[in-house]
């Protein structure tokens, strides 16, 4: 299994500002994913981030709003730009096991509140 850490664990931000969330994995992984979990809701995939290529965004999410970096095989960042209260969510990164069955491991999440 992979151990994943995220920073910050939580933050309260003002509307119009940006926040960068870091995701660190204890082993090299090819696939990293960023999910959003709005209050009381399930997880929605924001984008898939592979090292060495541009992130692939899901419908409804755009790079200008959620720029992602993936500089190496153990690290990724997600920025939430020009925030509004609707961006208040838990943001989780996950990594694929790489093996058959596509098991994924999740970080503890970053709880973001936008005022």
Partner 1 sequence: AQSVTQPDIHITVSEGASLELRCNYSYGATPYLFWYVQSPGQGLQLLLKYFSGDTLVQGIKGFEAEFKRSQSSFNLRKPSVHWSDAAEYFCAVGVKSGYALNFGKGTSLLVTP
Q: For binding to partner 1 (CB under 8 A), which residues are involved?
A: 30-31, 33, 35, 41-45, 48, 92, 94, 96, 98-109
**Other beta carbons within 10 Å of 26:** 12
Nearer to partner 1, 14 or 102 (CB): 102
Nearer to partner 1, 16 or 50 (CB): 50
In angstroms, give the least distance from the CB of 107 to partner 1: 6
Residue from 72, 27, 65 nearest 50 by CA: 72
Pseudo-torsion of CA 11, 15, 18, 23, nearest 10°? 30
Find the shortest distance in angstroms from Cβ 86 to partner 1.
Answer: 19
CB of 111 to partner 1, least distance (A): 8
Name which of 28, 20, 30, 6 is nearest 68 in CA terms: 20
């Amino acid at each position: 299994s992979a151990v994943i850490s995220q920073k910050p664990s939580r933050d309260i931000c003002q509307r119009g500002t940006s926040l960068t969330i870091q995701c660190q994995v204890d082993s090299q992984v090819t696939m990293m994913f960023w999910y959003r979990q709005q209050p009381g809701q399930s997880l929605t995939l924001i984008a898939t981030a592979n090292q060495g290529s541009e992130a692939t965004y899901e419908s409804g999410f755009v790079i200008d709003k959620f720029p992602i970096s993936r500089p190496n095989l153990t690290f990724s960042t997600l920025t939430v730009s020009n925030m509004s209260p609707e961006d208040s969510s838990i943001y989780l990164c996950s990594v694929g096991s790489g093996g058959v069955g596509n098991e994924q491991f999740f970080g503890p999440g970053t709880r973001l509140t936008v005022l």
